[in-house]
């Protein structure tokens, strides 16, 4: 082979080697330039779907692509809906405060009844004429009858869904200044059990009490702010030696007892005091020091207050966090009255916040189904 041909082959070989090296270097440089933002879509969705809400929101700020994927897989808790009870007819309205939409269902099963309490998507109802007490799920139309029981000047609550074996109903009635009658029942029972218990003043039971089930106990907030506790397992009633929450004098104006609400969150008892001329005050029971502490923030929790039962939620959409939503809707169903602890003001402005003027049996917050379209 001539020297000229050898030189050409060597140059060709060197060129191929250089090209291969350039390709390898380009691949290496490309890999070095890749970042977390370049993750395959399937892998990115898998990772972000495993994050809790707070971390999901943080991840969504990385870039536009991550924001889009994080929003698609974000799990947000469902807000309760406000259910309205008509004075006439069988059409019941349900207001969704997130979408600001109202839905309607015909529920002839509720004719002649009044609502007592709600939890886990179930209503507890009472027919005064027949003394019939029953559970009803307005979305599945399932009805569970209970033994008849006369409820006059008292309210009633239950611990969990009636489909659970742990469901217990509880009500307390004033007998005398030193005695209360506590009645309990459960789905499948043939009668209510009523036992008189010694009562310690100044706790006085009335229809204006607030009831909530928390940590296996029923808590009962009296008209004057004292807290009674009933253990349904041990069948023990006691009144806590905790003075009522301290509020300004103007909180005790006309119909002030209707402006109190109580709920629980994470094992804590929360009480909301309202006044038409003042911003609401929220208290949490310090169960170690046994005293009420005023709360300046809800730490992202959202409260839903109604006269008969109130609820708490976490992981709602951002604008709803650290707010109290009340059972009043304004602007033709476009805005639910709420109070923001971040801005320390009501939304919308210049609205009447005198809950004493509202019918306490007009509406109640209830947990809706995940797919409401199947109920229509």
144-162 burial code (b ≥16 CB/10 A, e <16): bebeebebeebbbbbbebb
Classify 372 as helix, strand or coil: helix
Domain boundary among 52, 75, 98: 75
Do residues 310 and 330 both lie within one domain? yes
pLDDT given for residue 356 in this prediction = 64
Below-50 pLDDT ranges, the chain: 31
CATH no. for residue 68? Answer: 1.20.1280
Same domain for 282 and 359, yes or no, is: yes
pLDDT at 27 (0 to 100) = 52
Q: Which domain range does residue 350 map to?
A: 242-363
User: What distance separates the 2 farthest-apart alpha carbons in the chain?
Assistant: 124
Same domain for 249 and 355, yes or no, is yes
CA 105 to chain centre: 22
- Are residue 182 and residue 135 in the same domain, yes or no? yes
Query: Does 375 fall in a domain?
Result: no
SS3 state at 108? helix
Say what the pLDDT of residue 215 is: 96
223/171 same-domain check: yes
Q: What is the dihedral of CA 262, 265, 267, 268, to 10 degrees?
A: -50
Q: How many domains does the chain have?
A: 3
Show which of 13, 47, 75 is a domain's final residue: 75
pLDDT of residue 21: 57
**What CATH number should be reported for the domain holding residue 191?**
2.120.10.80
Same domain? 358 vs 259? yes
Looking at the structure, tell me whether residues 344 and 246 fall in a common domain. Answer: yes
Q: Of 195, 220, 241, which one is at a domain's C-terminal end?
A: 241
Assess whether 175 and 58 both reside in one domain.
no
Residue 48 lies in a domain: yes
pLDDT at residue number 59 = 80
120/52 same-domain check = no
Q: What's the number of CA atoms in the CB half-sphere (13 Å) around residue 76?
A: 17
> Residue 31: what pLDDT?
47
> 355 in helix, strand or coil?
helix
186 lies in the same domain as 267: no
Question: Is 333 part of any domain?
Answer: yes
In the prediction, which pLDDT does 6 show? 55
């Amino acid at each position: 082979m001539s020297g000229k041909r050898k030189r050409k082959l060597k140059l060709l070989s060197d060129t191929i080697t250089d090209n291969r090296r350039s390709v390898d270097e380009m691949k290496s440089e490309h890999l070095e330039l890749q970042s977390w933002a370049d993750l395959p879509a399937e892998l990115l969705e898998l990772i972000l779907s495993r994050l809790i809400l707070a971390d999901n929101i943080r991840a969504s700020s990385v870039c536009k692509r991550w924001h889009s994927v994080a929003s698609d897989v974000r799990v947000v808790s469902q807000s309760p809906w406000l259910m309205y009870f008509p004075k006439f007819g069988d059409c019941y309205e349900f207001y969704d405060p997130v979408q600001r939409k109202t839905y309607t269902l015909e529920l002839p099963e509720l004719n002649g009844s009044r609502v007592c309490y709600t939890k886990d998507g179930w209503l507890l109802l009472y027919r005064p004429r027949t003394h019939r007490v029953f559970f009803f799920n307005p979305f599945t139309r399932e009805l569970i009858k209970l033994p008849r029981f006369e409820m006059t000047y008292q309210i009633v609550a239950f611990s969990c869904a009636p489909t659970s074996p742990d469901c217990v109903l509880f009500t307390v009635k004033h007998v005398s200044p030193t005695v209360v009658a506590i009645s309990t029942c459960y789905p499948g029972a043939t009668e209510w059990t009523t036992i008189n218990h010694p009562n310690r003043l100044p706790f006085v039971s009335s229809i204006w009490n607030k009831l909530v089930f928390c940590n296996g106990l029923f808590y009962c907030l009296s008209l004057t702010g004292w807290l009674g506790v009933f253990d349904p397992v041990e069948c023990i009633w006691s009144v806590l030696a905790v003075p009522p929450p301290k509020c300004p004098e103007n909180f005790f104006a006309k119909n002030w007892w209707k402006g109190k609400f109580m709920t629980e969150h994470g094992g804590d008892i929360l009480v909301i005091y309202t006044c038409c001329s003042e911003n609401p005050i929220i208290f949490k029971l310090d169960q170690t020091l046994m005293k009420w502490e005023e709360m300046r923030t809800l730490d992202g929790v959202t409260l839903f207050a109604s006269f008969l039962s109130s609820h708490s939620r976490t992981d709602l959409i951002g604008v709803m966090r650290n707010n109290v939503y009340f059972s009043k809707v304004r602007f033709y169903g476009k805005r639910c009255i709420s109070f923001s602890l971040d801005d320390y003001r009501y939304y919308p402005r210049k609205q009447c916040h005198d809950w004493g003027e509202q019918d306490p049996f007009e509406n109640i917050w209830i947990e809706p189904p995940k797919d409401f379209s199947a109920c229509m």
